[in-house]
Structure 1
Amino acid sequence: MPREISFFDAYVPTLLLAVIAAGVIALVADRILVRIGLYNLVWHPALFRVSLFTCIAALLGLAIYR
């Protein structure tokens, strides 16, 4: 996969698009986890949400730059 993608004649890093996609995936996963009731078992929900986003973004970044 290329390191940059041309978007309206401006080069956008592929990692930026991966972070945006990770945000969408984390938002959907967060909604599912709220419905399941997992946040009743989590010590710090905000910290869990940030770590979930970080893990998803890191996995997408590794998939792109591997």
Structure 2
Amino acid sequence: MTGHLNVYGVYVPVLLVAMLAAYGAKSVIAAVLRRLGFYRWVWHPPLFNLALYILVLGALFNLVPRM
């Protein structure tokens, strides 16, 4: 992995792509948890959402192959 993706001649950092994918995945997970009523048990929902985003981002970044 060089750290950049070539998208039609524009180099995009892999971390940016992982961050956007993690935000989308976090949004889906948060919507499911909200629908299930999980947030009734959470003390500080914005802090929980930040922690969830960081966990998803870390998981996605570890799945990216390294060269």
Normalising by structure 1, we get a TM-score of: 0.88
Q: CA deviation at 1:15?
A: 1.5
Q: CA deviation at 1:63?
A: 1.6
Residue 13 of structure 1 corresponds to which residue in structure 2?
A: 13
Matched residue pairs, number? 66
Identity %: 35
Residue 43 of structure 1 corresponds to which residue in structure 2?
A: 43
Can you list the C-alpha shifts for 1:9-65, whole angstroms capped at 9, x where unaligned?
A: 111111110110000000000100000000000111110001000110011112215
CA RMSD of aligned residues (A): 1.5
* Amino acid in structure 1 at the alignment position of 2:29: A
| Structure 1 residue matching 2:42: 3-state secondary structure | coil
Residue 24 of structure 2 corresponds to which residue in structure 1?
A: 24
The runs of 5 or more residues in structure 1 that have no matched partner are: none
Q: Which has the higher mean CA deviation after the structures are superposed, 56-65 or 28-37?
A: 56-65
| Structure 2 residue matching 1:5: 3-state secondary structure | strand
Q: CA deviation at 1:3?
A: 2.6
Structure 1 stretches of at least 4 aligned residues deviating more than 3 Å after TM superposition: none
